[in-house]
Structure 1
Amino acid sequence: MVKIVHPVAGAVAIVTIASFWLSTALSEMFASPAIVAAVKMAIPWGFLLLIPALMAAGGSGFALAGKRRGGAIGAKIRRMPLIAANGILILIPSALYLASKARAGEFDSGFYAVQALELAAGAANITLLGLSMRDGLKMKGWFRYRPA
């Protein structure tokens, strides 16, 4: 069961974060302030899916790793604190702040500064999760390891 939960939860997490990022970027570039506000207010509701998915992916990953800590497993384990810290310290507070500002219709310099920070931190998490997914797929034999 853990062998199924881990990749599914990981895929749900990366797709959810990517959808947050893309919806934010596209609404900021092409949509009206009302759509931007709707996107910003919807994202915190997505945490109800994202946070359990990240917890399931992390917990099942540790269970699958057992006592092994080297190679690709070690790299995945070293990335997890960075992903979690980025989410807890930057992404969640930023999303809540932006939802509050959007609800009030306050699209000021503070909104856009935090928006830029959120987009950068989101891109970092997408990259880190993507690297972990790549390593997991390599361990499963979907990709071959190529010497540098």
Structure 2
Amino acid sequence: MKVLHPAAGALALATMLAFWLSTAFGEISGNMEVIRSVKLAIPWGLPLLIPALAFAGFSGFRLGGRWNHPAVAAKKKRMPLIALNGLLVLVPCALVLRQLAVNADFGAIFYAVQALELCAGATNIVLLGMSFRDGLRLKRRIRA
């Protein structure tokens, strides 16, 4: 668990960051085929991201147990927010954007959902990053 937990957390963070950066760079490029390709590819990464997040959350709760350290408490508070944001906002956005991209429907709805996805994704990246940092502090790999 002590090895798999940080590995799952790092994989989840890296995957979310890859999704977010791909989306942002696709939009910056302005190339509709690149944007379409990114939106079609992201749902294929969900079977990697979702189990990584679930395992990171599960293993974190097991490792944290009854430990009352403030960093552990903060990580425990963040994980439900990360999970809810992912399941209720990010996954539906990814699936809606995929369908809109399949239909080459890059109108106002596409960009509204895209904006929501970018904001929710950035939120999860920050929350996961904070948890990763707290984990490193707990292992005394970085200074508080």
Please, what TM-score do these two structures have when normalized by structure 2?
0.97
1:1-148 aligned within 5 A: 2-145=1-144
Please give the per-residue CA displacement for 1:91-124, whole angstroms capped at 9, x wherever unaligned: 0000000000001000000000110010000000
Q: Kindly indicate whether the alpha-carbon contact (under 8 Å) linking 1:40 and 1:95 is maintained by their aligned counterparts in 2.
A: yes
The 10-residue stretch of structure 1 (69-78 or 102-111) with the greater mean CA deviation from structure 2: 69-78
1:62-88 CA-to-partner distances (Å, cap 9, x unmatched) read: 111112244100000000111011101
RMSD, aligned CA? 0.9
For structure 1, which segment, 52-61 or 26-35, has the greater mean C-alpha deviation from structure 2 after superposition? 26-35
The one-letter code sitting in structure 2 at the alignment partner of 1:81 is P
Matches of 1:24 and 1:69, distance apart in 2: 38
Runs of 4+ in 1 over 3 A off after TM superposition: none
Q: CA deviation at 1:31?
A: 4.5
Q: Which amino acid aligns with 1:142?
A: R
1:10/1:57 contact within 8 Å kept? yes
Identity over aligned pairs, percent? 54
For residue 3 of structure 1, give the secondary structure of its aligned residue in structure 2: coil
Distance (Å, rounded) in 2 between the aligned partners of 1:99 and 1:118: 12
Unaligned runs of 5+ residues in structure 1 are none
Aligned length: 144
Mapped contact 1:69–1:77 kept (Cα < 8 A): no
The alpha-carbon deviation at position 59 of structure 1 amounts to 1.0
Q: CA deviation at 1:6?
A: 0.3
Distance in 2 (alpha carbons) for counterparts of 1:69 and 1:93: 35
Q: Distance in 2 between matches of 1:20 and 1:3?
A: 27
Aligned counterparts of 1:66 and 1:81: Cα–Cα separation in 2: 16
